[in-house]
Amino acid sequence: MTNIFFTVSGEHKTLPFAEINAILESECLPYSRNKVFNRVLSLTSTLESAYLVACRSSLTKVCALELFRCDAEQNVIQRHMSEVSFKDHLKKGQSFSVRFTSFETSHISTLGLEREIGYMISQKVPEAWVNLVDPDRCFIGFFTDSVLFFGVKIAEVSAKRFIERMPANRPFLHSSTMPPKLARCMVNLARASSGCLVLDPFCGAGSILLEAGTVDCRVVGSDVNDLMVEGCSRNLEYFRIPFDGLIVGDARKLPFKSVDCIVSDPPYGRASSTHGISPLELVSDFLLEAMAVLPRGGYLSLALPSDRDWKAVAMDLGYVFVDHHFVREHKSLTREILIIKTT
């Protein structure tokens, strides 16, 4: 076990951290959570955890091996830097870069620090050379909450990874479609490990199934609207995501026997119709039905309109509440991402 840290997207305050925990839990990787900072999560875990998070996460930016963490004061930083054995991380002939990012206003110049630390490393490892374009090793520092995290980059999550599956780049498009980043995050929050069977019973154009399939889950879906099922199937085929089943059916009478977890975005009666049933009745009936297809402790990750107490609804039906997060879409829509599990 070693100290690693993750820097996360500033798009949401709690989701990025919950997503990392859920990814590690889903693959049963050992970790202990050290501390959550504004934009940094520090853990004691294995390097495998960092690679897994980098592969799967939607809201993580960088994963790094922590070399030290200290108060964001120039003299304190210099003292810690002088104690780092850079030779352990930089071999003869290798190139390196040093980058600092500040998530807060700071009196320390990140550019000045990059030059100073770059020079210090060159003195300590004279056989290594600076390469800012394609270095063998990236030393990175992040200022957050008046603390500096300094480490060696293990992996960087490309912001471009979702672009090819953006709604506009799919053969079938619908106004109710969820953005791929949120869909991926919801798949992760459902503890969907690779190989497990994920169901979306309100699959629409298939954003959730696309993301689940992209991280090697097996996927099944259904929707009451045959045009949606057809469109979803076109989207999955276009991105070469195999599916175990895609069926026209009502989520209140699920056409599947058993699945490992459910990730879904039921209709709110706005961009997609509830076919005359109130969202409360529809979701309650579906939740009752879902119990029959999930294993004990099986997770559901649901996007719901934040206009009622869904936590209470789920608990009244016998589910265990795990977590929830509120995501503001626009002035008149805030989504609640509700994570629950069966007993």
Ligand X SMILES: C[S@@+](CC[C@H](N)C(=O)[O-])C[C@H]1O[C@@H](n2cnc3c(N)ncnc32)[C@H](O)[C@@H]1O
- 335, 327 Cβ separation under 8 angstroms: yes
- 211, 187 Cβ separation under 8 angstroms: yes
Site for ligand X in 272-301 (CB under 6 A): 272, 274-275, 282
Contacting range for ligand X; rule: CB under 6 A; set: 19-27, 105-113, 148-156, 171-179: 171-179
- 189, 57 Cβ separation under 8 angstroms: no
Residue 165 DSSP one-character state: G
Nearer to ligand X, 45 or 306 (CB): 306
Q: Can you tell me which of 251, 261, 262, 294 binds ligand X, judged by CB under 6 A?
A: 251
Contacting range for ligand X; rule: CB under 6 A; set: 115-123, 205-213, 288-296, 310-318: 205-213
Contact between 224 and ligand X per CB under 6 A = yes
Nearer to ligand X, 84 or 282 (CB): 282
For 329, counting Cβ atoms within 10 Å of its Cβ (0-12 exposed, 13-18 middle, 19+ buried), the class is: middle
The span from the CA of 333 to the CA of 175, in Å, is 14
Contact between 333 and ligand X per CB under 6 A = no
The span from the CA of 322 to the CA of 159, in Å, is 28
What is the smallest separation between the CB atom of 54 and ligand X, expressed in angstroms? 25
CA dihedral (246, 159, 95, 97) in degrees, to 10, reads -150
* Tokens, residue 7: 């820097």
* Tokens, residue 17: 């951290």
What is the smallest separation between the CB atom of 166 and ligand X, expressed in angstroms? 12
* Tokens, residue 140: 């990175």
Q: Can you tell me which of 81, 125, 199, 205 binds ligand X, judged by CB under 6 A?
A: 205
Q: Can you tell me which of 54, 265, 324, 335 binds ligand X, judged by CB under 6 A?
A: 265
Nearer to ligand X, 231 or 298 (CB): 231
* Tokens, residue 145: 């909450």
Contact between 250 and ligand X per CB under 6 A = yes
Contact between 26 and ligand X per CB under 6 A = no
Task: Tell me, by CB under 6 A, how many residues bind ligand X.
Answer: 25
Chain positions contacting ligand X, by CB under 6 A? 174, 176-178, 201-202, 204-208, 223-225, 228, 250-252, 265-267, 272, 274-275, 282
